[in-house]
Structure 1
């Protein structure tokens, strides 16, 4: 078994001068600073007082799940002889919050729009989605069901 290490640096940027002395006296903002990569400004979910113009942890989780799926789809499609010339996804994360405020994802729906070459074996193109859950780091790590609602265009 090969092991991997993934690194990120999270830096809170929401100190307005008195730290978190009062609940409303600080911002729920931070930056992801990974060496050699662009900084990503982030905030809490807008429902919890965050800045709606910035990415929040939930955005980033669903984006990571979708991106991992896409990369594996392209790889498996290549191996299967399915020529892909376009791929976009509008994934949805489904969550719930308890009265205590504790939240969790209860599911996700990936909704890729995939452009494939004329003559593509569409049954094979569709079947690839179900193989990804066996190999994708993110999909194998989440504890909620992930559904796939792929749509295809022929180029």
Structure 2
């Protein structure tokens, strides 16, 4: 079994001069950098938790990681099954529940992948492969909440 290691540097940039004197004395801005990557990710907390709405928050990044990993596995499986996909979009949605003590957790994620399949006879198999992609996705396999799929495949009028 092969092991892969990842490293990320998180740097808080939200000290307004008094540090964390109180809950409202600082902002939640931070950068996420990974060696050998061109651009840092400008991040904050969700605006509901005093974050900067123009920056990515951890919850959005988790949802995006799930959707991205699913897409990459799905495209891989389509390639190995000779299903030609010419377009893929997903409007993923996640639900996070906040508890009375301030903690919280994701309770579900639903992916809405819409794909364009070159050959109409492959649409059924293309839709089935989403279930296989979910079984293979490293991120989905690491989650303790359900990840559902509302997939839609069609051919493009240009493909006919």
What TM-score range do you get, normalising by the shorter chain? Answer: over 0.9
For residues 53 and 60 of structure 2, the distance between their equivalents in structure 1, rounded to whole angstroms, comes to: 11
State the 1:134 CA deviation.
Answer: 2.2
2:149 corresponds to: 148
Structure 2 portions without partners, runs of 5+? none
Structure 1 outlier segments of 4+, above 6 Å: none
| TM-score (structure 2 length as normaliser) | 0.93
Structure 1 portions without partners, runs of 5+? none
Query: Are 1:86 and 2:82 counterparts?
Result: no
Deviations 1:7-62 (CA, angstroms, capped at 9, x unpaired): 11100010111211121110011100111211110010111111111100000000
For residues 103 and 9 of structure 1, the distance between their equivalents in structure 2, rounded to whole angstroms, comes to: 24
Q: Any conservation in 2 of the 1:111–1:148 contact (CA below 8 Å)?
A: yes
1:30 corresponds to: 30
Q: Any conservation in 2 of the 1:82–1:120 contact (CA below 8 Å)?
A: no
Aligned runs of 1:8-27 on 2, under 5 Å?
A: 8-27=8-27
State the 1:119 CA deviation.
Answer: 2.8
State the 1:118 CA deviation.
Answer: 2.9
For residues 120 and 39 of structure 1, the distance between their equivalents in structure 2, rounded to whole angstroms, comes to: 43
For residues 120 and 152 of structure 2, the distance between their equivalents in structure 1, rounded to whole angstroms, comes to: 16
| TM-score (structure 1 length as normaliser) | 0.96
The range that moved more, 119-128 or 141-150, is 119-128
Aligned runs of 1:93-104 on 2, under 5 Å?
A: 93-104=94-105
For residues 47 and 120 of structure 1, the distance between their equivalents in structure 2, rounded to whole angstroms, comes to: 46
Equivalenced residues, count: 155
